Amino acid sequence: MLKALHDQKGAQLLLGFLLGVGFGFLLQKGSVTYYDVIINQLLLKDFTVVKIMLTAMVTGMIGVHLLVGLGLAQLHPKPGSWGTLIPGALIFGVGFGILGYCPGTAVGAVGHGALDALAGGVLGMLAGAAVFAALYPKLASLLQKGDFGDATFPRLFGLRPWPVVIVVALMVTGLLYAIENAGL
């Protein structure tokens, strides 16, 4: 791993910024910074969001597992529990359907002048995060319910990563092919 680079604080802030510029550029070029595109995905009329996410997932999955295999990276799977994921993801989903942006795409939308994403989305997200921080001590015990740590599917099933990577890549590619074939 490039540990010397990882430890350089200033260089890391610059790298974060540059990677973000690339990410924002791609999100806008993919048109997923637009409310219309996201809401049409959630209404199952336009599958642009899913196509981008799944293609990014497969590309990144193969690349990151290669880097890990070469000793150039390590995984950072997020820990989770039923208590965090079920309520949290559903509340997020409800917000996603109402707002029509997620955190990254809302910021990207501000970049092309979407004022609802700025004055509504970004401000609302800041308030939501602040209220969560305030309630966190009260929620802490619920958040630990059904904790399964930072498990990954290969570890869960006692498999080496590559067979899982290959199967997931083939399944997702098949799904994308089916979506494209269905004209969505």
Taking CB under 8 A as the criterion, which residues in 94-153 touch other proteins? 94-117, 119-134, 136-137, 139-140, 143, 148, 150-153
Number of residues that bind other proteins (CB under 8 A): 126
Interface with other proteins, residue 163, by CB under 8 A:
no
Interface with other proteins, residue 73, by CB under 8 A:
yes
**Residue whose C-alpha is closest to residue 145's, from 102, 94, 81, 86:** 81
- For 157, residues 6+ apart whose C-beta sits below 8 A from its C-beta are 164
97 residue type, one letter: G
Task: Give dist(CA 2, CA 124) in Å, integer.
Answer: 38
CB of 92 to other proteins, least distance (A): 3
CB of 164 to other proteins, least distance (A): 6
For residue 145, the 8-state DSSP code is T
Binding to other proteins, residues 11-40 (CB under 8 A): 12-36, 39-40
Q: Is residue 41 classed exposed, middle or buried when 0-12, 13-18 and 19+ CB atoms within 10 A define those classes?
A: buried
Interface with other proteins, residue 184, by CB under 8 A:
no
Binding to other proteins, residues 77-96 (CB under 8 A): 77-81, 84-96
